[in-house]
Chain A
Amino acid sequence: MFEKTLTDVVKGIRASKRNTALYISQCIAEIKTEINSTDLFTKANALQKLTFLQMMGYNMSWASFATIETMSSPRFGHKRIGYLAASQGFNQNTDVILLTTNTLKKELRGAVGGGMSGVYEAGLAINCLSNIVTEDLARELLPDLTNLTSHPQPYLRKKALLCLFKLFVKYPQGLRLTFSRVQQCLDDTHPSVISCAVNVITELSDKNPRNYLHLAPAFFQLLTTSSNNWMLIKVVKLLGSLVPEEPRLARKLLDPLATIVRNTQAKSLLYEAVYTITLSLPYARKADGSMPASMPSIVALCAETLKTFVEEQDQNLKYLGLVGFGSLMVSHPKVLSSPDYRPLVLACLSDEDVTIRTRALDLLTGMTTRKNLRELVTQLLRHVDLATGEYKSDLVAKIIEMCSGEKYALLVDFEWYLDVLITLAYSQGIEQHGDLISGQIVDVALRVLPVRAYAVRRMADVLLDGTGRKKQKGLLEKEEDIMMDGTTRGECVMPEILPGAAWIVGEYSHLIETDSEIQYDVMSRGTYHSIIQAVMAPSNVDNILTSTQSVYVQCGMKVLAAASNAGKKCSDVELEACAETLTKSLPVFMQSVDVEVQERAFTSYHLLTSLGIIKASSLDGDNAFAPGLTPLDKEEEDESSEEESEEENAEGDLLDLVGSRPPASSNIKKTKKPSSSPATINSDLNLIAGGTLASRCRDVSKTLQYLLTPDPMKPVSAKAQRKKRLSPPTSLKLDLDAPINMSIFSSLLADERAQFGIGGGKLSIEAVSFTQQRPMRPADPTPVDTSFILSDSASTPNSGLVNNSNASQSFQHSGMTPQQRPQNQNQHDPFYLNSASPAMVEGTAFGSDPVQQSQTGQQPSSRFGTIQLVDGDDSDDDTHGRHKKKKKKHKKDKKQRKKDDIGLSFGDADFAALSGATEKAKSIPHATAALADLTVYSSEDDGDNDDNLLSMKPSAASKRGARSNEFKGLAKVDLTTPLRDDEVMPRNEHRVVPEKTVEEEESLGEEHGKKKKKKRKKEKKEKKKNGKKEEIETASIPSTATGDLLDFGGILSDGGAPTSSAAPTATPAPAAHPINSAFDDLLGLTAELAPTLPLAQPEEGIQGFTPIESPATKPLSSKKVGKSRVWQRGTIKASHAKQVSVSGGGRSFDWGNVSLEYRTQHAKAKGGGVGSALVILRVVNNTPDTALQNISVLLNGMDDPISLGDRVNAGSAVESNGKIGPFSYSASSPSLEIKGSLRLSGWSVPIKLTLPATMRLNPVAGLSLDAVMGELSANRWESHSAKVEVTSGLETAKAKSVLGSFLRAEEVDGGSSAHGTFASQTNAGTQVRVLIKVKESAGVANTVKVDIKCTDGQLCKSLISDVKKIIL
């Protein structure tokens, strides 16, 4: 009696400003006790307060039950509170929603009868229902709600109509059932009802326009006659959504819409009309390609209207005008390029409102032309300086997009573009675009030859700047030009730019201009030196990313190479200074924490040492190496990261000896390694004594040049790269045939000669370069260490080598045979095997050992093979199950590729970007590999929910992403087909127990013993039958393809498999049994092909479905006479494929091209229990050209592998020689999984067969369609559905019967050729009803949709997954 009312609470909250939370928590505590009161007044009052608090953000889910209680109160006042609380407070997690069903139903029915009684209650209920509806509620209440759409009160009609839409969303099936009602409401007398109907149809049409095309004339009528703007907006929207489905409508629409545009006063309608015109324009093209005559004037009208919008003072209209322009640009991209619009849009760019700015920015792409690009970008750059936050990075992205779009189509002046990019690189706040900018710079430098020199100059600036040097005044004039405001330039450049800059400077170091005045510091002797100083500054180790450092090291070396090669441009002093800087700095980098940097620095250092550029004196002191880290320790690290270095070689500093990559990279190593051996160092020292460091540098410049910058890099498209990868053997072969360029070794040979003091004759190249590798690669570092020290102290080199006893000595003899060496290395050296296979090829070139050559040659191919497997996705068979997934993947793939090639080619179409980042290129195969794995893993049961029309699950609507899914079911509903007989309004009835048949009653009445007896009898017969069958089988081996006739298989559909081309044997047709009807079609086929074949008569008393095949019917040429049957697809786990022997050729497989198929035959289990099955396997080779060899299958639980054949040519198939099995089904799960492995061509891959649950089914006879409908409407069926695509061109009727027989079900009469109802049951009595619907085109089946309804959920699921595996 004295509880607080809602007003009290509101007052209380307002009064307690200080401590509102405390007050509210007190209130909630009170509510919690009040709500449990038995007095409905108290309860309702409490709920009312709670609803208010809920609005303020307090949870009320605990009061759900009280809400329902209040809802069902007889008093309207309480009801109202309850319904409001329910529509506000319930969400998808509220489990008591189902309890509202009856209350709601009562209210909905209460209003039926005319008058005003119950109308408002029903209104409340509808309102509430629209907020809380779930799938179950929708199904239950759909009939009642539909009735209300013809209620005398328009108040209820309109509400019910709108609510129906929500019901359709949750229960798409309902749309088909009740759409006619919605359509009728279009002719309603009451305007708001019509408006609601339009609203609903508009929304529906948004999801699937095709269904509503036939309504277009009606709406067209509305469009031209109605004056209700609200509705007109919707009508215009609706017609707009129909346009993509019916292009003719687009042309028809243009004029009336234009009329609206010209006449209407309402801005909203005006905008809607313009917007819809812009949407329809792309479709307005006539079939012959011409445009309607009115087109230009309409486009002009739109543009003019939108322009007035943008010019408006009202920001809202301005915004919408910009949106409209964006839409108009889709069909007329150039509409904005006229100079009238430019100032307009540019003015919007400086608008105060970021929403407007962003929209205006989007329009810029359409405005750019070759002529105004520069001007626009210059203006944008000004905005970049002023902008902040996300808008700023949007701007930058836009600038780059405008310039680089369509392969730099609009760009004329690349030098200017470089300037722009560099300017951006110095801006703050756009860090996320660093990589993009860097990529663009590299891309431009790579592609555009004329600007390379300029790029090098600018990048040198950046490098000097980036390492903290103060800018020299006056040097960067041009840059200052671009910088609108010199002061905004940040002190430091974006770190992401630096690697790109270093790469450009290094790679094109021959373009470095020496006359520029840039200097690193006072010690600098010239440009080359400055750059080297900048990149090799010891402070870099701390300041710069390690990934950048590794590029820096390479850059320093390349610049040195260029300097040594520069002739007069580089003075001796400068050259020496360069070398000295490197000498000093490299050891610093050799101590980097990053292995990559360490390794590059180390390699470089030793290269210089071996070439004599780094003097021996620097080796004397310990300072050359990290304290405590002996040089050989280092070397060891070097070795271990060999794999890395190979990749790195592919990146930039690639020495292209003979035109192919892998051998080239090996050469680098070979020349480096031996030269760093003690012997050569000594000899170098001798030489150096003669000349100055500078002249020494110049002497070796050729070598340096050759090693570091052999040829300018070229952009390589991803496609070209793939080609290279795919055909490594050919390229290798070419290399082997080509004469080897020996000149590179000449200097080393000279060293060697000097070393041994002999004349040239005896030494071979092998002796120099390869035999001494071993000492540098010790198992135990200590002895090698001594050898190093010994050689250091100028003892004879031989003694050093001899001391090195642990290393395999045979390698040290220069006289060793080349054949021996690689073998030994293969055996003993783990590194060699793993990483250096290309080097092996090179090695064997000397030894000319063909066997080894071929073996090592496989190494790369198998490595690439894994990539090939992945790349096959665009060529292999898109079989139906994976179809969708593949497509998706393809898209993804494409997207990724797109992302990678920002720039694409300059000039020619096939050139794609290599933005200096091979990592990226590498990541693509990895990514796709992962995807490929994914496909294989999930190919089994994916898309379970996809096509499941009958069992739409309520989607989680709370997440944004889920929203589109919410309408997925709705979009699938097809209204164009007429209602089927089985599509009826869901009725709620008590389950009617089907009348027992006489037989059943009898058997029930009988004693158990008798039953058993019967059973035993049956078993006996079965045994007999089985025995017979086995006999037959043994007799007819190897005539396997004939198959037994126990299984009513479908029609074999593999056109590509000659071994089993289907000429059907006799199909047993038990004449007395009704199952025959299902096979009539089948027989029709067989009769056509082999009309004379006799039909077997079934034995009496057997279940009717498992007739015995009589030996007489079996033709002798059984191999040819394949039994028509349905194949199913087995799962191949390609990701787990492994090579078990190389004998089969060693090429990897695209497993997508190999498919394993099986079919199952029914066999009675011996125990009469759950049944068992026999399996026939076949392997189909879908590869374009490769034959598969030595195919065998080992199934788990079997001792010996089953051989399928020695060889399958491309495009054909091989079948197992005899039935495998029987496999017994277990009682626990309906289907039976058999795992095993498939071997072919030396590969082994895990496989899985799922023997179908259909083996448990037996047809049910004598059902009528009505009976089935009756059963189904009794609501106790689990239902699932699937779609099977038919690829073999099966006729419609046959497709149906094949599926029916696969499911071992009998057709209930009454179906047409395109659809039918089938019935079957398991021995245990679980009922299965199947609805098969064949979609056809020209009499040939396209897809078959199978709806399975089953009284057992598990069985239903496994049946549906069986169906999905079918190959038709």
Chain B
Amino acid sequence: MIFWCVCVCLHYKRLCSFENRNKQGQTRLSSYYEWLNMDERVALESEIIRKCLSRSELQCSFVEYRGFKVIYRRYASLFFIVGTKADVIAGGGAENNENELGLLEFIHTLVETMDKWAGSICELDIMYQLEQVHFLLDEMVMNGYVLDTNKSNILRPLDLIERESKKGDGVFR
């Protein structure tokens, strides 16, 4: 089960006197499939983001953190981070985890779908069309489980929904 899915935009922040660059991330999209309190979310996000950003590209895309297995993937300045259940000690028998590679592929599918939807996805696309991105994600993941991975299956209803909601949305309301 995917517990949450966060998309983070990476910024480089220049500290005034020093020349070193400080990586900073800002959440652009977040979706939670289990109930977390607001402050828990904020704390979790900031910690996870810091952890992921601090890792170099040579390191693997899995971080174990607070009982979550965090799987992330970076696309230019966008980080897609997915949290899932951590490994049980090997040999735990019937415990199912999400397949880590599967989730990596899922992230990739998500990005490809977004690309197809917005041309070439960038931070601003997500920022200004947050709702649609949410719906896109909802078409792919529901309740923590992958719903569909077929791009056309995902995008068709998205268009229809968009058209439907614009219906009667005239200038004069």
Contact = CB atoms under 8 A, between A and B. Distances in A.
Interface of A: 6-7, 10, 14, 41, 48, 51-52, 54-59, 61, 75-77, 80-81, 84, 87-88, 90-93, 120, 123, 126-127, 130-131, 155, 158-159, 162-163, 165-166, 192, 195-196, 199-200, 202-203, 205-206, 209, 230, 233, 237, 240-241, 243-245, 267-268, 271-272, 278-279, 282, 314-320, 323, 326-327, 329-331, 352-353, 355-356, 957-958, 960, 963
Interface string B22-44: 00000101111111111011100
Given A77-B165, A244-B94, A282-B91, A162 B62 contact: no
A92 B35 contact: yes
Contacts of B146: 199, 230
Contacts of A61: 38
Contact of B93 (A91, A202, A279, A353): A279
7 contacts: A54-B38, A80-B135, A162-B145, A240-B96, A316-B60, A353-B55, A957-B34
B95 to A, nearest CB: 7
B60 A353 contact: yes
**Interface size grouping (class) on chain B:** 35 or more
A272 B131 contact: no
A803 to B, nearest CB: 73
A277 to B, nearest CB: 13
Contact of A7 (B31, B40, B67, B128): B128
Contact of B62 (A92, A319, A958): A319
Contact of A316 (B36, B104, B128, B157): B104
Contacts of B60: 314-316, 318-319, 353, 355-356
B99 A233 contact: yes
Given A57-B38, A230-B102, A326 B90 contact: yes
A267 B101 contact: yes
Contact of B128 (A10, A162, A241): A10
Interface in B89-141: 90-91, 93-96, 99-102, 104-105, 127-128, 130-131, 134-135, 138
Contacts of A48: 131
Given A80-B165, A330-B91, A91 B35 contact: yes
B79 to A, nearest CB: 15
B91 A327 contact: yes
Given A196-B145, A282-B91, 9 more contacts: A7-B128, A41-B173, A77-B166, A88-B31, A268-B104, A320-B101, A355-B62, A958-B35, A960-B67
Nearest to A272: B99
A230 B149 contact: yes
Nearest to B164: A76
A233 B102 contact: yes
B41 A355 contact: no
B76 interface: no
B59 A353 contact: yes
A158 B96 contact: no
Contacts of B56: 352
Contacts of B34: 957-958, 963
A192 B153 contact: yes
B58 A162 contact: no
Given A80-B165, A155-B157, A158-B147, A6 B130 contact: yes
B96 A203 contact: yes
Contact of B61 (A7, A81, A315): A315
A195 B147 CA distance: 8
A10 B147 contact: no
Contacts of A159: 142, 147
Given A159-B147, A316-B60, A355-B64, A120 B164 contact: yes
Contacts of B142: 126-127, 130, 159, 162-163
Give the residue among B64, B96, B142, B148 with the most A Cβ atoms within 10 A: B142
B17 interface: no
Contacts of B138: 87, 127
A577 to B, nearest CB: 57
A329 B90 contact: yes
Interface of B: 1, 27, 29-38, 40-42, 45, 55-56, 58-64, 66-67, 87, 90-91, 93-96, 99-102, 104-105, 127-128, 130-131, 134-135, 138, 142-143, 145-150, 153, 157, 160-161, 164-169, 173
10 smallest beta-carbon distances between A and B, as pairs: A268-B101, A315-B60, A330-B91, A130-B143, A77-B165, A327-B90, A353-B59, A206-B96, A57-B42, A241-B94
Given A55-B29, A230-B102, A120 B130 contact: no
Nearest to B30: A55
A90 B61 CA distance: 31
Given A76-B164, A320-B101, A192 B38 contact: no
Interface of A is mostly: helix
A331 B32 CA distance: 37
A127 B168 CA distance: 24
Contacts of A81: 131
Contacts of B153: 192
Contacts of B95: 206, 241
B145 A199 contact: yes
A42 to B, nearest CB: 10
A166 B143 contact: yes
Contacts of B96: 202-203, 205-206, 237, 240-241
Given A92-B35, A131-B33, A55 B27 contact: yes
Contacts of B157: 120, 123, 155
Contacts of B55: 353
A162 B90 CA distance: 28
B94 A206 contact: yes
A55 B28 CA distance: 8
Give the residue among B34, B135, B148 with the most A Cβ atoms within 10 A: B148
A1059 B30 CA distance: 71
Nearest to B73: A316
Contacts of B134: 84, 88
Contacts of B42: 57
Contact of B145 (A54, A87, A165): A165
Contact of A320 (B100, B127, B169): B100
Given A162-B143, A196-B147, A352 B59 contact: yes
A282 B93 CA distance: 10
Contacts of A87: 138
B62 A158 contact: no
A296 B87 CA distance: 27
A1299 B127 CA distance: 65
B139 to A, nearest CB: 9
B101 A957 contact: no
Contacts of B91: 279, 282, 327, 330-331
Nearest to A164: B143
B131 A80 contact: yes
A76 B105 CA distance: 33
A10 B127 contact: yes
B126 to A, nearest CB: 10
Nearest to B64: A355
Contacts of B102: 230, 233, 268, 272
Contact of A957 (B35, B135, B150): B35
Give the residue among B130, B147, B157 with the most A Cβ atoms within 10 A: B147
Contacts of B38: 54, 57-59, 61
Given A57-B41, A267-B101, A323 B90 contact: yes
A645 B86 CA distance: 50
Contact of A158 (B35, B36, B148): B148
A92 B34 CA distance: 10
B136 to A, nearest CB: 12
A75 B167 CA distance: 9
Nearest to B87: A323
B58 A192 contact: no
B50 to A, nearest CB: 15
Contacts of B166: 77
Nearest to A192: B148
Contacts of A163: 142-143
Contacts of A54: 38
